[in-house]
């Protein structure tokens, strides 16, 4: 890879890594905010929680307790992403691995957000159906 192309790839990787950090940060903040309110709501009704919801609420407690480690990881993510991208694609012709890395790292927060929604919506629907009966 030429130096100019390497600089462009590195700059792009840093920007993409920073954007991914922001997405993970927003997802984490949303999880913490909704998780604490959701836990309070369900505890008022003594609702039984499915395993996925218990795991999400435990993860929420971990984020709240170790927020400084989560913030450090979010700050270091662009550099980690840059390192992985430069290791995966030393040649410009083999950019497929870089694209796969970007795809997987963009897909992960989307899948996590879908799990959060599913983990909170299912018990909420059960609660609503139980209260309406």
Q: What angle do CA 98, 102, 103 make, to 5 degrees?
A: 115
pTM of this structure: 0.75
Alpha helix positions (H), 49-132 = 51-65, 67-88, 96-132
- Determine what percent of the chain is predicted with pLDDT higher than 70: 94
Is 93's pLDDT higher than 70? no
The total number of structural domains that make up the chain: 1
Residues found in the chain? 133
Phi-psi region of 46 (alpha: psi -120 to 50; beta: other; left: phi over 0): left
* 120, 55 contact by CB (below 8 A): no
pLDDT digits (tens, 9 = 90+) for 29-80: 988 988 888 888 878 877 777 888 888 889 899 999 999 999 999 999 999 8
Q: What angle do CA 115, 105, 111 make, to 5 degrees?
A: 10
Q: What range does the domain containing 79 cover?
A: 3-132
pLDDT digits (tens, 9 = 90+) for 116-126: 888 888 888 88
* 60, 120 contact by CB (below 8 A): no
């Amino acid at each position: 890879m030429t130096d100019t192309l390497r600089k462009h790839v590195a700059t792009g990787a840093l920007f993409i890594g920073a954007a991914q950090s922001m997405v993970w940060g927003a997802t984490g903040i949303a999880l913490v905010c909704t998780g604490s309110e959701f836990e309070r709501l369900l505890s008022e009704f003594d609702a039984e929680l499915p395993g996925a919801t218990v795991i999400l609420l435990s993860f929420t407690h971990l984020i709240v307790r170790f927020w400084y480690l989560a913030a450090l990881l979010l700050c270091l993510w662009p550099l980690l992403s840059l390192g992985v991208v430069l290791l995966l694609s030393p040649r410009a012709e083999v950019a497929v691995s870089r694209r796969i890395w970007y795809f997987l790292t963009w897909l992960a927060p989307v899948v996590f957000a879908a799990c959060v929604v599913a983990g909170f919506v299912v018990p909420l629907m059960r609660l609503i159906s139980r209260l309406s009966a």
